[in-house]
Amino acid sequence: MHYLDNAATTVVDPELAKLCYDTMLEIFGNPSSLYKPGMVAERAVDHARAQVAATLGVTGAEITFTACGTESDNIALQGAAERTKNWAKNIVVTGFEHPAVYRTLELLAAQGWEIRAIPPDAGGHIDEAAFLEAVDEQTGLVAFMFVNNEIGTLLDPVALAKKVRAKNGRASIHVDGVQGWCKHPLQLSGGEIDSFALSGHKMHCPKGVGALYLRRNYRIGPVFGGGGQERGLRPGTENVPYIVTLGAAAEKYGRSIPARLAGAKKLNELLREELAKRGDITVNSPADASPYVLNFSIPGVRSETMLHFLESKEIYVSSGSACSKGAASHTLTAMRLPAARIDGALRVSFCDTSTEEDVRALLNGLEEGLRALQRR
């Protein structure tokens, strides 16, 4: 099997799966209970909090555990809107956010917020000047992503946040870090960013666990009512085994960011070089994108058709983003690419276990697929 859809989800690391299973059996207590099994569970959760925090150079007290990246984004965005609604009127955001952000902002738009979405240009970049121009004294929230999930555009969260702060010191700044966490180095200790969302299943954990960084002294109200766990922001009995697993993933993968990044870069370059040799394939990802993601368009074959052809050879890639099943890519549409390029777009995404053999298999599969499918 050649699994090249790691931006959709990753395989669970067997070492982490074992830890998860063992924790499930051994640390069964409710962290809120006052007796020993409860305290053991609470300690395990706090240890994981420190492990996740260390990947961002922050403290455990700044980490809230959630069920997924979507939940982290929702808590941060809705919380920020509630926090600033008394004086703010608009929200500034990139025009190529994941639905976890843009659909949440649609809910806020229905409450009267003006959403200023700055689209990417045809090269897949956000015009920084235009983005900052949209921020004014009535901006309550600024949201952007670390790495775009469809084409891999890489933003510099700290540098951009500093520029936003220079224009508006009281707006909340949220970063969707789901595709960048533990893949690209990032330190949040400078306090420029108020909130940062991450998700475990993009980093070899089971689906169902995520986290939200909230800067010390940055306060938002709850989105859910409940028993007060996670400082009331994500009430509900903590999923201790999954949280422990996320902590261990943070420790394991947080240490190897440069080495894994170098590996992804090599594979990305190989794929780009080989695709360029064909001459009929257009790369949609910017040249300076995250090497973990490469989006390109094939001529004369719909991406779904090619996806299933590749599937027959056990090569797995995505057409657009996994969340948009069959729908035209949100990002490529925002880039205003021609319809044929959007229809033929495939996304390849690597992880640390991806190999040159995977890339070669994909190239052969594409070659064969184009020959077989273009003829019809």
Residue 179 binding ligand PLP, by CB under 6 A:
yes
Window 94-153: residues binding ligand PLP (CB under 6 A): 98, 100, 145, 149
- In the sheet that holds 172-176, the strands lie side by side as 63-66, 210-214, 195-199, 172-176, 139-145, 90-94, 114-118
Among 186, 199, 177, 197, smallest CA distance to 159 is for 186
With CB under 6 A, what is the number of residues at the site for ligand PLP?
15
Q: Select which of 20, 68, 182, 323 is catalytic.
A: 323
Which residues have C-beta within 8 Å of that of residue 221, sequence separation ≥ 6? Answer: 79, 82, 83
Interface pattern 343-372 for ligand PLP (x via CB under 6 A): ------------------------------
Among 371, 354, 330, 64, smallest CA distance to 212 is for 64
- Of 67-75, 136-144, 222-230, 344-352, the segment contacting ligand PLP by CB under 6 A is 67-75
Give SS3 for 93: strand
Both tokens of residue 273?
A: 């070089």
- Of 113-121, 174-182, 235-243, 286-294, the segment contacting ligand PLP by CB under 6 A is 174-182
Which of 149/297 has CB closer to ligand PLP?
149
Binding residue for ligand PLP, selected from 16, 27, 68, 359, defined by CB under 6 A:
68
Q: How far is the CB of 174 from ligand PLP (least distance, A)?
A: 11
Helix runs in 57-110, H state only:
69-84, 99-110
Q: How far is the CB of 99 from ligand PLP (least distance, A)?
A: 8
Contact predicate 210/68, CB 8 Å: yes
Which of 149/295 has CB closer to ligand PLP?
149
Q: Give strand pairing partners of 297.
A: 282, 345
Among 178, 97, 156, 152, smallest CA distance to 293 is for 152
Contact predicate 153/230, CB 8 Å: no
Residue 323 binding ligand PLP, by CB under 6 A:
yes
The answer to whether residue 323 is catalytic is: yes
Helix runs in 135-188, H state only:
157-167
Residue 329 binding ligand PLP, by CB under 6 A:
no
Per-residue exposure over 263-276, b if at least 16 CB sit within 10 Å of its own CB, e if not:
bbeebbeebbebbe
CA 250 vs CA 52, 159, 350: distances in Å: 5, 24, 18
- Of 45-53, 64-72, 221-229, 235-243, the segment contacting ligand PLP by CB under 6 A is 64-72
Residue 184 binding ligand PLP, by CB under 6 A:
no
Residue 23 binding ligand PLP, by CB under 6 A:
no
Which of 107/166 has CB closer to ligand PLP?
107
Residue 199 binding ligand PLP, by CB under 6 A:
yes
Which of 185/228 has CB closer to ligand PLP?
185
Cα–Cα distance for residue pair 187/85, rounded to 1 Å: 29
- Of 55-63, 69-77, 167-175, 228-236, the segment contacting ligand PLP by CB under 6 A is 69-77
Both tokens of residue 129?
A: 């000047």
Q: How far is the CB of 299 from ligand PLP (least distance, A)?
A: 27
Q: How far is the CB of 102 from ligand PLP (least distance, A)?
A: 10
Residue 195 binding ligand PLP, by CB under 6 A:
no
Enclosing H/E stretch for 283: strand 282-283
Binding residue for ligand PLP, selected from 31, 210, 263, 286, defined by CB under 6 A:
210
Binding residue for ligand PLP, selected from 13, 42, 176, 352, defined by CB under 6 A:
176
Q: What are the catalytic residues?
A: 323
Binding residues vs ligand PLP (CB under 6 A)? 68-70, 73, 98, 100, 145, 149, 176, 178-179, 199, 201, 210, 323
